[in-house]
Amino acid sequence: MTTIDRILEGQMLDEAAWLELEEFCARLRIERRWVAELVDSGLLEPRGADPAAWRFPVMAIARVRATERLVNDLGVNLAGAAVILDLLEERRHLLARLRQLERALEE
């Protein structure tokens, strides 16, 4: 598969859906070992007690992709990637809350 094919590849996913480990790895084209490292570092929080039972929310796909970019492109370690992604998520929540409060003040 060429780079352009991968860029143009897409599929609509139900945001509330959960994926089993094998499907999660297949969609991301990653190894189970990498997923285990992400879980160990706190970047992913699966449902299930052990890897055989792990399930991941579809929304975690974006988190894994962002982690890959931070690690591969910027040389950030997994602990650093976890902090960065958590702060970005907190920022998104705060901005949403700010917009909500601004709308309330305008009413």
Q: Please indicate, yes or no, whether the overall pTM of this predicted structure exceeds 0.85.
A: no
State which H helix or E strand residue 62 sits in. Answer: helix 60-74
The average pLDDT across 6-13 equals: 50
Cα–Cα distance measured from residue 44 to residue 32, given in angstroms and rounded to the nearest whole number: 13
Q: Which residue has the higher pLDDT, 15 or 1?
A: 15
Sign of CA dihedral 69, 32, 39, 80: negative
Give per-residue pLDDT as tens, 48-88.
988 999 999 999 999 999 999 999 999 999 999 999 999 99
Q: Which CATH architecture has domain 16-106?
A: Orthogonal Bundle (1.10)
- Domain limits, the chain: 16-106
Taking CA atoms, 87 is separated from 12, 13, 19, 80, in Å, by 27, 25, 25, 11
The average pLDDT across 20-42 equals: 95
The average pLDDT across 23-50 equals: 94
